[in-house]
């Protein structure tokens, strides 16, 4: 039985509409470092500074569920990573691509996969057909033929108007509207 404190993609059902959400390079610049005092943004601004933009966009798409595809879950745990989000996004967040039953040692299992492969594994586990991903994909791991990625500029994240427009367009397509 799974720990109820650690939701995984099994919390998703095949008919769900899902947004896989990265944090670094999306909700703030991709210049975050782990220090003894916690995660620190070493760029102008603050952690999770673009979350309000996502809250506003998702108001038009209340059926969308969020699955965290950020390394924050691996570092902090699902509950703490989810708690970093504003309440409006926390309410939509139901799972993550990583869970505590996966190997913790670096370069073992999950850590060996690209972000695309991590998301695809979660998609397969939940038998999802309707999903998109919001990620800066700094390693260019996403295959060109798969158009479900909204790739953000790692410095601008969701503050980029063209990125916001692309997200809205892909959310409308995801919802079939």
pLDDT at 149: 96
Distance CA 92, CA 18 (A): 10
In a domain, 34, yes or no: yes
Please check whether residue 57 lies inside any domain of the structure.
yes
**Does 22 map to a domain?**
yes
pTM: 0.89
- Residue 94 banded pLDDT, cuts 50, 70, 90: very high
Helix (H, G, I), strand (E, B) or coil at 93: strand
**What value does the mean pLDDT of the chain take?**
88
Angle at 162 between CA 146 and CA 74, to 5 degrees: 55
Q: Is residue 163 part of a domain?
A: yes
Residue 9 — very low, low, confident or very high, per pLDDT cuts 50/70/90? very low
Q: Does 1 reside within a domain?
A: no
Residue 3 lies in a domain: no
Please report whether residue 4 resides in a domain.
no
The residue among 47, 43, 89 whose CA lies nearest residue 68 is 89
* Domain CATH number, residue 72: 3.40.50
Helix intervals (H) in the chain: 51-58, 71-76, 78-83, 87-90, 115-126, 161-175
Which has the closest alpha carbon to 135: 116, 112, 107, 159?
116
What average pLDDT does this structure show over 45-66? 97
What 3-state class would DSSP assign to 28?
A: strand
In this structure, are residues 163 and 153 in contact, taking their beta carbons and an 8 Å threshold?
A: yes
In total, how many domains does the chain have? 1
- Is a pLDDT exceeding 70 seen at residue 143? yes
Q: Examine the pLDDT at 88 and tell me if it is beyond 60.
A: yes
User: Residue 117 falls within a domain, yes or no?
Assistant: yes
Alpha-carbon distance of 86 to 96, in angstroms, equals 17
Residue 60: give the domain boundaries: 9-175
């Amino acid at each position: 039985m799974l720990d109820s404190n650690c939701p995984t993609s099994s919390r998703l059902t095949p008919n769900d509409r899902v947004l896989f959400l990265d944090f670094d390079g999306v909700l703030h610049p991709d210049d975050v470092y782990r220090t003894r005092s916690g995660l620190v943004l070493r760029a102008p601004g603050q952690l999770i500074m673009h979350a309000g933009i996502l809250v506003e966009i998702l108001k038009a798409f209340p059926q969308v569920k969020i699955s965290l595809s950020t390394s924050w879950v691996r570092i902090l745990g699902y509950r703490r990573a989810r708690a970093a989000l504003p309440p409006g996004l926390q309410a939509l967040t139901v799972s993550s691509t990583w869970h505590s039953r996966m190997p913790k040692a670096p370069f073992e299992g999950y850590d060996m996969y690209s972000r695309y492969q991590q998301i695809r594994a979660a998609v397969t586990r939940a038998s999802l057909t309707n999903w998109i991903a919001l990620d800066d994909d700094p390693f260019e791991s996403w295959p060109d033929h798969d158009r479900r990625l909204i790739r953000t500029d790692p410095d601008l994240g969701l503050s980029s108007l063209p990125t916001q427009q692309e997200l809205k367009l892909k959310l409308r397509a995801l919802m079939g509207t």
